[in-house]
């Protein structure tokens, strides 16, 4: 097994509650028939969720996001160079407004 595969599996095992809740709604083409992958390796990063066919990456931001803003900005630029759009969503939003988050993701997938 490759190092990247091992790392992706480790990230899946240690996912946050928000990631688990969102994954339950995205897996198995449950959201609009779109296929998502979890902890998907892109460039030298691991995207929280990726809809490869639509070129959309979903990144969930925890409490420490403000401290990692510069890193997140560089990550976003790298993902854009790889052909992906990035949608950043706060963990709290997933926990308190999951239906709204799912609608936002659907809109992004449909380029609305």
CA 68/CA 52 separation, integer angstroms: 25
CA 66/CA 27 separation, integer angstroms: 29
One digit per residue, pLDDT tens: the chain, 112 residues? 788 777 657 766 777 899 999 999 999 999 999 999 998 888 888 899 999 999 999 999 886 545 566 666 777 788 888 899 999 999 999 999 999 999 999 999 998 5
Domain extents in the chain = 3-109
Tokens of 111: 């380029």
Quickly name the fold that domain 3-109 has. Endonuclease; Chain A (3.40.960)
Could you tell me the pTM of the whole model? 0.82
Per-residue confidence (pLDDT) for residue 6, from 0 to 100:
79
Per-residue confidence (pLDDT) for residue 45, from 0 to 100:
84
| CB count in 10 Å sphere of residue 9 | 12
Per-residue confidence (pLDDT) for residue 112, from 0 to 100:
56
Longest Cα separation, the chain: 39
How many angstroms from the chain centroid is the CA of residue 88? 8
The DSSP element (H or E) to which 17 belongs, if any, is: helix 17-26
């Amino acid at each position: 097994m490759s190092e990247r595969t091992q790392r992706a599996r480790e990230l899946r095992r240690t996912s946050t509650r928000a990631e688990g809740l969102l994954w339950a709604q995205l897996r198995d083409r449950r959201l609009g028939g779109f296929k998502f992958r979890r902890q998907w390796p892109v460039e030298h990063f691991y995207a929280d969720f990726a809809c490869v066919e639509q070129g959309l990456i979903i990144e969930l931001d925890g409490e420490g996001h403000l401290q990692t803003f510069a890193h997140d900005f560089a990550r976003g630029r790298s993902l854009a160079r790889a052909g992906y759009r990035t949608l950043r969503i706060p963990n709290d939003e997933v926990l308190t407004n999951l239906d709204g988050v799912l609608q936002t993701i659907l809109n992004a997938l449909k380029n609305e």
